[in-house]
């Protein structure tokens, strides 16, 4: 994150994957979106400390920064 502007910059840490998209996670063969095999729905379950499992996460909420903004 650029501390002066408060914006996140996406450089040197993303790479082209087999699916043709760029992604920051080096261990994946495809980008986060292409690797996500969950059925498409409006809300996804996520664990929140102290509250348990909630059904208010978005599909891209936990993707890498590059995939999240696609």
CA distances, 46 to each of 2, 5, 26, 39, 54 (Å)? 28, 30, 23, 15, 5
Residue 47 domain flag: yes
Range of the domain at 38: 15-68
Residue 9 domain flag: no
- pLDDT of 55: 92
- pLDDT of 22: 95
Average pLDDT over residues 35-59: 93
Residue 58 domain flag: yes
Residue 36 domain flag: yes
Average pLDDT over residues 2-19: 65
Distance CA 41, CA 6 (A): 32
Residue 2 domain flag: no
Can you say whether residue 49 is alpha, beta or left, with left for phi > 0 and alpha for psi between -120 and 50 degrees?
beta
N-term to C-term CA, the chain = 18
Per-residue model confidence as pLDDT tens digits over 28-45: 999 999 999 999 999 999
Residue 8 domain flag: no
Distance CA 32, CA 11 (A): 17
Residue 6 domain flag: no
Residue, of 13 and 9, whose pLDDT is higher: 13
pTM for this entry: 0.68
Q: Could you give the number of structural domains in the chain?
A: 1
Residue 64 domain flag: yes
């Amino acid at each position: 994150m650029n501390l002066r502007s408060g914006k996140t910059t996406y450089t040197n840490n993303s790479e082209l994957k087999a699916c043709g998209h760029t992604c920051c996670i080096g261990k994946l063969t495809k980008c986060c979106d292409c690797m996500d095999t969950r059925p498409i729905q409006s809300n996804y379950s996520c664990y929140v400390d102290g509250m348990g499992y909630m059904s208010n996460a978005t599909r891209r909420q936990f993707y890498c920064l590059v995939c999240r903004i696609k």
